Structure 1
């Protein structure tokens, strides 16, 4: 019996060592992510979604980057550039290069071991490097493939986050280091992950892979459509069938813009400072709400 358990332990050790020695790339043009943004509003939450995908590459200096695009359209049209990534598959590290400002840093490090501190660059949450401590490192099976899973800890805000090899943070592909944000009202999570058009992972807290409509109630198909282009800080609102009121709030609840709309309109938001903003549109059909990030 002891020999049986010894042999089993040896086999498991060999499998574990083999998995940890391999690396499943994060960056690929045949994968797709969807996120859900949960917006805290008085008395209720609203939800919105975006798709993210790598499309094409670019060269800066002598370095090749893959372009990460995003769209908030349910039919996956109107893609806009979110940022640039590069990856070293020999070390299991991925770097993020923001469009504004043009700077770069580590986004993921799957070579990190338990007890290591990983310094993350993500200007969406902090102007400084975000330090995450690896608390656990194990193996999970997703889509029939064994993958490394790291549980990270952000000690300053006593928050944790999980990274899965080939998938990224469970806060979403672009949100490594989001645990630094702490328990602020509102959040963002990974909804679904596809590879080769197969849905390999779905957030167990939700029954859908995309929230097309936002607000207190389901709005009809004629509801307005928001599109935000982060590269030039432009907000586009179209599919207006009724005159309505647009109001934008900062995350302190202060109103920063109010305007009556009756046709497709494009707003330049370059005058607003860096941060998250809630965009609210009210018309006879109901209320639409989304959240945007200004770099």
Structure 2
């Protein structure tokens, strides 16, 4: 009888472990998506439901939240394991995620970021199918993961999956990935880093989101040496002709990379001035090496 009771208790414990949910944060979280940060700041009540307010910041190191832009409202129904959202230019509630789904299930979801498509009928939806389901452990916490079958993999881009308590590998507000249109043309949003309560849970060291990254901001195809913030000021920024570097450091060389990671220009830094007149309009990353061997990356825009 004692062995039978132990077996039953063991079974109950196992079931409870698999039924545990990892919830979305309601504060103290940062998602790094391309060269944007998504943060939670406050809440709002709409039609009797309380939503967390998600903001987007165009700041690679999150030095200031003064320029934050409302990205959307988000609430989680822990009973149904669904996550709902409202686009910043809409009052229509749409489904972002359903973590109760299993292999073979289909669901209709929407993006709600300011870059997301929206028309006269509301937020544009996309129907996806769950290809497979597994569980991953991040910093000692189990998360359910759903792999998406009808996603951008069909276009040869990012294979999408959703992680419980975090969102899509395209970002927290970007399920069923759409192209977004920016100054550089169509882009695929991509989550490169996730921080919660001051701890980086996903970064370039993880195999879960595999990209060559540096310090939770987006730099493609960089060398493996660590990059750091060298506190270099670029001006004017945006620019159309000359880019000047304001710093007391002894600079040695530079590389300029496009948003896709292609090296478009490189050279030595003798007078802390770089001509960018030959570059097309767009966002670029300036990789800088000092004479002491330190490396840093700064973002600038050519207009």
TM class by shorter chain equals 0.5 to 0.7
Deviation (angstroms), 1:279: 5.2
Per the alignment, residue 165 of structure 1 pairs with 164
Deviation (angstroms), 1:207: 3.1
Contact 1:24 1:166 in 2 (8 A): yes
Q: How many residues align?
A: 215
Contact 1:118 1:131 in 2 (8 A): yes
CA distance in structure 2 between the partners assigned to 1:168 and 1:219 by the alignment:
32
Per the alignment, residue 214 of structure 2 pairs with 208
User: Secondary structure, in 3 states, of the residue corresponding to 1:158?
Assistant: helix
Give the structure, 1 or 2, with the largest relative contact order (CA under 8 Å, sep 6 or more). 1
1:280–1:34 CA distance, 2 compared to 1 (3 A): closer
Contact 1:122 1:177 in 2 (8 A): yes
CA distance in structure 1 between the partners assigned to 2:74 and 2:51 by the alignment:
5
Contact 2:237 2:301 in 1 (8 A): no
CA distance in structure 2 between the partners assigned to 1:92 and 1:107 by the alignment:
11
Deviation (angstroms), 1:51: 1.1
**CA deviation digits over 1:34-59, x for unaligned, max 9?**
111xxxxxxxxxxxx11111111111
The 5-angstrom pairing of residues 98-137 of structure 1 reads: 98-122=87-111, 124-125=116-117, 127-137=123-133
Higher strand share: 1
CA RMSD of aligned residues (A): 3.8
Contact 1:51 1:76 in 2 (8 A): no
Per the alignment, residue 72 of structure 2 pairs with 83
- Whether 1:221 aligns to 2:233 is yes
Per the alignment, residue 230 of structure 1 pairs with none
CA distance in structure 2 between the partners assigned to 1:225 and 1:31 by the alignment:
29
Deviation (angstroms), 1:90: 1.5
Contact 1:161 1:171 in 2 (8 A): yes
Deviation (angstroms), 1:61: 2.5
TM-score by length of 2: 0.60
Select the residue among 33, 36, 41 that pairs with 1:35: 33
Unpaired stretches in structure 1, ≥5 consecutive residues: 1-9, 37-48, 227-236, 243-277, 291-295
Q: Which has the larger radius of gyration?
A: 2
The 5-angstrom pairing of residues 250-289 of structure 1 reads: 288-289=300-301
TM-score by length of 1: 0.61
User: Secondary structure, in 3 states, of the residue corresponding to 1:77?
Assistant: coil
The 5-angstrom pairing of residues 39-58 of structure 1 reads: 49-58=35-44
**CA deviation digits over 1:88-130, x for unaligned, max 9?**
0112111110121332210011011111101102261475321
1:11–1:208 CA distance, 2 compared to 1 (3 A): farther
User: Secondary structure, in 3 states, of the residue corresponding to 2:200?
Assistant: strand
CA distance in structure 1 between the partners assigned to 2:25 and 2:165 by the alignment:
8
Greater shift after overlay, 125-134 or 84-93?
Answer: 125-134
1:155–1:163 CA distance, 2 compared to 1 (3 A): closer
1:140–1:77 CA distance, 2 compared to 1 (3 A): same
Deviation (angstroms), 1:24: 1.2
- Whether 1:142 aligns to 2:142 is no
CA distance in structure 1 between the partners assigned to 2:103 and 2:136 by the alignment:
16
- Whether 1:153 aligns to 2:182 is no
CA distance in structure 2 between the partners assigned to 1:144 and 1:166 by the alignment:
14
Contact 1:130 1:177 in 2 (8 A): yes
